[in-house]
Structure formats: structure tokens, C-alpha cells
Amino acid sequence: MSHNQSATREFLDRCRALVNAELDRSIEQASASERLQEAMRYSVLGGGKRIRPALCMAAARAMGDDMEKALVPACAVELVHAYSLIHDDLPAMDDDNLRRGRPTTHIAFDEATAILAGDALQALAFDWLANNPAVPADARLAMVQELARAAGHRGMVGGQAIDLESVGKAITLAELETMHRHKTGALIEASVRMGALCATDRDPDRLDALTTCARALGLAFQVQDDLLDIEGDTEVIGKPQGSDLAREKPTYPSLLGLDGAREHLQALLTQAQNSLSDFGSEADPLRAMADYVVARSH
Amino acid sequence: MSHNQSATREFLDRCRALVNAELDRSIEQASASERLQEAMRYSVLGGGKRIRPALCMAAARAMGDDMEKALVPACAVELVHAYSLIHDDLPAMDDDNLRRGRPTTHIAFDEATAILAGDALQALAFDWLANNPAVPADARLAMVQELARAAGHRGMVGGQAIDLESVGKAITLAELETMHRHKTGALIEASVRMGALCATDRDPDRLDALTTCARALGLAFQVQDDLLDIEGDTEVIGKPQGSDLAREKPTYPSLLGLDGAREHLQALLTQAQNSLSDFGSEADPLRAMADYVVARSH
């Protein structure tokens, strides 16, 4: 393991520990229904790489603040991500029984509880963003707007709708990109932007540069996901390998070929790294995260 | 029709017109998926009494502002209400095919689209609250907190979870009340409180009085709903009459008897009206809405 790789692992481990502790603490508070709360905890605390929280905290660091400054938006974006996975896995959607090597929420509990747990996690994300004493009111509002748009019909949910419509259809590379810009890209962009928005010095040029970086990373993340679906090991990726192919979902490798997809991934990584050229060592965690997104094995 | 009744109708009609126009205008903006957007519009614009928006606007009026001041939170609470109906009607939840005399969203579209439309409507509610230029940043944040808590696992969604768990079980009056305080009460309380929170003069005593009024109204609303399920006409209430009974759902009449439930309803109405005793004519729309909630026929 190189020095860079070990620094990245250290940063990711620290983010994960902070975020997991905060999520664990906060979903412990009494809920109206014990079963609902258990389902929420099962879905949120059952592992996960916490890539979005790490991107959020790395962005706060890139703006010159401590990574801890972005702990609340880091958790909020993970709550939205967790809710989207629960709903994605439902029988009416992707109908997946396995996630991160464990039964999906509707299998471990039941479908109704899974739907409600997802709904509650989305509400909780906005509750946290609005109740974050670490940042001023205008920044909190900006983050609520950012997350609401990224999560909604013009962002993540819109992308999931396009995804459902595109199964079994021949689509172009541009259409595939539009789908992913919404489905995964919007939330990754929001992760980075929220981290930057809670910084003390919200320099607009730096925010723009981070946004450009996040857009490239969002697509790179999806290309790597598609490659892992073909090349990855079922045990490591936590879901049946080749499941996209089996569902006739359009992917980057199916449109560009394996080599073409790998080249596309490298080009996106270069784009992400170049957008950070005006930043000093304060952007090193974000640079490391960019490398990690592309190199990850699951 | 008495003078009071016609004034109430006029107020409700005006609220409904304002809210419907705003909802129509705003969900028209381009979405990523046309089908998703259609499902959102179908669910939000397909009728509905707009009781929660009217309560929200009546509360703003009671605090001394124009009712229009609360247009954005009025729409936001209706979006959350609409999303909750879509998810409630799903096969895994109440499995209803009919709502307001029309096919439910998952019947008119499909289950996956219905899940996503609900998810998107929840996000949109927070987007609107955060983007409301009519009120200052701290009031907007207070409204985001209010709605997020009322909608989440300690509010509406928590109540739905209790509801699912209580089907076919013998429960006490106290347990029934806890369920409804969460399931319908929390959102009705938030409607009133958000209307008050966007007022120019946010007098804490008046906010407390309105909160007390809203709590009583929230329960009254549910008692009347239970009575309508027994006494109402299928065509007027828009769903099969007696459907609660058929599902063995506990109701106020099943626990208190018909007369007992009617008395309970009157006591709650008196409580709601009494809490407004220090208000002048500015609270007349809210008083009228309280009477309406109890007297409505669907």
C-alpha cells in the first residue's frame, strides 16, 4: 500500500467512524414505533462505505475548514442515500434480496415497514440539516435547498424514473449520461457542495471548481459501478455479479465496450483532478477520494 | 346555509384556488421524467379539500398577517399529505384502488412510479419551504424543522407504522389516540404552526394557543373520519364505506360507540374553540375551519 493509499484509508476510516457514531446516536432517540426505528437503524447502520459523507467532509476541508464542520450534512446525505437504497430494492422497483451481503430491508422486515423507513429517513435528513448549530441560518437553508433538489424529481428520484423507463430499451450514451447525472450524480454533487456551503469562507470560484470536480466524480462513480458489475466478485460487491446484464440495463461497458468504459473512467478522473489545480494541500483528501472512487473494488 | 357557513365556504374556496394555482404552476417545471411528473401532478392536483393548507393560511391570518403570507408552507404541507396518501394506498400498505373517486396513483400509473412520485413530492416540500422569499431565513428554517419532524418517524410516518402494527389487535383508547396524534395530528399541528411561524409578529403565547387548538383539531379530524367511515356515503367520501371495519382497524366508534364518539368529537371542538378565546376577529377563519372539520361530510 502506497503512502497515498494509506492516507486515503485513514481519512475514510476517520469519516466513517465520525459519521457512524453520529448516525447511531441520533437514530437512537425514541420513535413512535420500535419496529420502524429498528428498520431505520438496520438500513443506515448496516455497513456502507460512506463515500458521500467522506466527499462532503473532504469538500469542507478543501474550503479551509475542519472536516468535522460538515458532519451534519455528511450524515444527512447518507440518510438520503440509505432511503433511496431501501426503496430501490423493493419488489416493485429492482426487487433485490441482497444488499451489502445482508437481506434487504423489506426482506429483513416487511415491505410496508421498508417503505415507511425510507420515508422517515428522508424527513430525518432535512430535520438534521435545519437543526445544525455549527453553521449560520443562511448556509443551513442553502443546504436544505441543495439536498432537496438533488434528491427530488429533478435529481435522484428523476434519475430512478428514467432508469425504470430505460430497462430493455436501446439508449444512447448521452441518454445514459443524463440518467446517471440524475440518479447518482446529483447526490454526489450535493455531497460536495454541501460540504463547501458550510465552510466559513464560501468563495464562489472555489465552490464552482468543487462543483465541476463533483460532476466528473459522479459520472466516474457510475462507470466504475458498471465495470464492477462485470469484473467484480459477488462476495466483494455484496450483490450478484452480472445483475445489470441479467436485467438488460444499459451500462457504460455495453455502450462503449470494456476498454472504452475504462478509458472514459480515466478521462473523468483527470477532469476531476484538473478542476482542483488551484487548490493547495487542503484539497488532498478530496483528491484522494477521487482516486478512491475510481480504484475501489466494491 | 347560515352566514357563517357561507363565509367558511368562501375562505376555503379562496385557499383552494390559491393553493391549486401555485401547485399547478410549480409542478409544471421540467422534470427528468415526464411519466414521473405526470404521476406527481395526478396525485397532487386530483381534487382534495385542501384542509391543511386552509388551516395553515387561517393560522397566518390569526397571527395578524394576510393569509397569502402562508401560501408556500400551505402548499408544502399539502405536498407531504399527497405523498403520504400515495404511499398509504400502495399494495404493501392499505392496498386501496380508489381515492377521491379516482384510481389511486399506483393503479393509474404503476407501483414503482407511485413510490417515486411520493418520494419526489416529499423532497419538493422541503425545496419550497427553503426557497420562500416571503419570510426571513430563521422562519424558513423553523418551518423546515417543523415539517420534517411532523412528517418523520416521530410524527406522521411513525403513526403509520403504529397503524400497521395495530390492525386486528385490541388497543386502548389511549393507544388509539397516540396513533392518531402521530398519523394525522402531527401534520395538522404543523400546518397551523407553520402558518403562525411565517407571521410578522411571532408572539410565543399566541403560537402556544394555536398549537393547543391544532392538537384538539387534529384528533377531532380523525374522530370525524372514523364516523364518516360508518355513516358516510361511498360516493361522497370517495372510498368504500365501512372499509375500516372490513380491515378490523380500531376506530373511535368501535371503542366508544357511535354516541360516545360523537360526544368526544364535540368535546375536542369545544377545546379547540376555547383555545382561541384571547383572539379577536382575526381568528375567525380558524374558528370557521374548526367547525368545518367537525361538520364536513367527506
Residue A247: per-residue pLDDT = 60
Report pLDDT for B72: 97
Average pLDDT over residues A244-257: 78
User: Any chain A CB within 8 A of the CB of B23?
Assistant: no
* Residue A284 Cα distances to A193, A265, A267, A272, angstroms: 17, 20, 19, 13
A73, A143 Cβ separation under 8 angstroms: yes
Q: How far apart are CA A124 and CA B141, in angstroms?
A: 14
Whether residue A71 has pLDDT greater than 80: yes
> CB pairs below 8 Å between A and B: how many?
175
Q: What is the pLDDT of residue B31?
A: 76
Looking at residue A98, its amino acid is L
Distance CA A204, CA A198 (A): 13
Name the amino acid, one letter, at B90: L
**Residue pair B26/B44 in contact by the 8 Å Cβ criterion:** no
Does the pLDDT value for residue B85 go beyond 60? yes
CA nearest neighbour of B115 among A111, A158, A92, A153: A92
Mean pLDDT, chain A, rounded, equals 91
What is the per-residue pLDDT across B93-123, written as a single tens digit (0 to 9) for each? 999 999 988 999 999 999 999 999 999 999 9
- Give the mean pLDDT of B154-162: 96
Asked whether the predicted pLDDT for residue A182 surpasses 60, the reply is yes
Side chain identity, residue A285:
P
CA within 13 Å, CB half, A204: 0
> Which of these ranges, A90-104, B102-116, B231-245, B256-270, has the smallest mean pLDDT?
B231-245
Partners of A96 on chain B (C-beta within 8 Å) are none
CB contact under 8 A, A161 and B129: no
Task: Encode burial over B94-121: b for 16+ CB neighbours within 10 A, e otherwise.
Answer: bebeebeeeebbbbbbebbbbbbbbbbb
pLDDT at B239: 55
Q: What percentage of chain B's residues is helix, strand, coil (to nearest 5)?
A: 75, 0, 25
Residue B201: pLDDT band (50, 70, 90) is: confident
Sign of CA dihedral B91, B96, B97, B102: negative
**Spatial contact of B136 and B276, defined as CB atoms under 8 Å apart:** no
> What span, in angstroms and rounded, lies between the C-alpha atoms of A106 and B220?
34
pLDDT (0 to 100) of residue A73: 98
What's the rounded Cα separation, in Å, for the pair B139 and B69?
Answer: 12
Q: Which residues of A touch B155 (CB under 8 A)?
A: 32, 123
What pLDDT does B65 receive?
Answer: 95
Q: Contacts by B172-177 with C-beta closer than 8 Å and gap 24+?
A: B172/B255, B173/B255, B173/B256, B176/B250, B176/B251, B176/B252, B176/B255, B177/B219
Asked if A167 has any chain B CB less than 8 Å from its own CB, the reply is no
Confidence at residue A8, expressed as pLDDT on a 0 to 100 scale = 81
Test the B interface: residue of A95, A153, A160, A197 with most B CBs within 10 Å: A153
Query: B32-64 pLDDT, tens per residue?
Result: 899 999 999 999 998 889 999 999 999 999 999
Which pLDDT score is estimated for B296?
Answer: 76
- In this prediction, residue A7 has a pLDDT band, given cuts at 50, 70 and 90, of confident
Full set of structural domains in chain A with CATH: 3-295 (1.10.600.10)
- The pLDDT of residue A180 is above 80: yes
pLDDT over 80 at B290, yes or no: yes
- Cell numbers standing for residue B18: 390559491
Q: Which residue has the higher pLDDT, A209 or B244?
A: A209
A174 to chain B, any CB pair closer than 8 A? The answer is: no
Q: Chain A: residue nearest B114 by CA? A: A92
Q: Which chain A residues are within 8 Å of B42, Cβ to Cβ?
A: none
- Regarding predicted confidence, which is higher, B82 or A31? B82
Mutate to test the interface with A, among B157, B166, B179, B194 (most CBs of A within 10 A): B157
Does position B23 have pLDDT exceeding 90, yes or no? yes
State yes or no: pLDDT of A236 exceeds 70.
no
Residue range A61-88: mean pLDDT, rounded: 97
- Mean predicted confidence (pLDDT) in A261-284: 96
A4 min Cα distance to partner chain B (Å) = 38
Tell me B30's DSSP state: -
Q: Is the pLDDT of residue B233 over 80?
A: no
Query: Which of the four pLDDT bands, split at 50, 70 and 90, describes residue A111?
Result: very high
Res. B28: pLDDT tops 80: no
The pairs formed by B168-173 with CB atoms below 8 angstroms and a separation of 24 or more are B168/B248, B169/B250, B170/B250, B171/B250, B172/B255, B173/B255, B173/B256
CB-CB neighbors (< 8 A) of A83 in chain B: 119
CB proximity under 8 Å: A 115-144 to B: 115-116, 118-120, 122-124, 126-127, 129-131, 137-138, 140-141, 144
Look at A9 and B265; give whichever has higher pLDDT: B265
> Is B222's Cβ below 8 Å from some Cβ in A?
no
The Cα B7–Cα A241 span in angstroms is 65
Residue B102 forms beta bridges with which residues?
B99
Q: How confident is the model at residue B2 (pLDDT cuts 50, 70, 90)?
A: low
Is the pLDDT confidence value at A107 over 80? Answer: yes
Q: Does A245 reach chain B within 8 Å, measured CB to CB?
A: no
**A248 min Cα distance to partner chain B (Å):** 18
pLDDT confidence bin for B171, thresholds 50/70/90: confident
Closest in B33, B157, B165 to A162, CB measured: B33
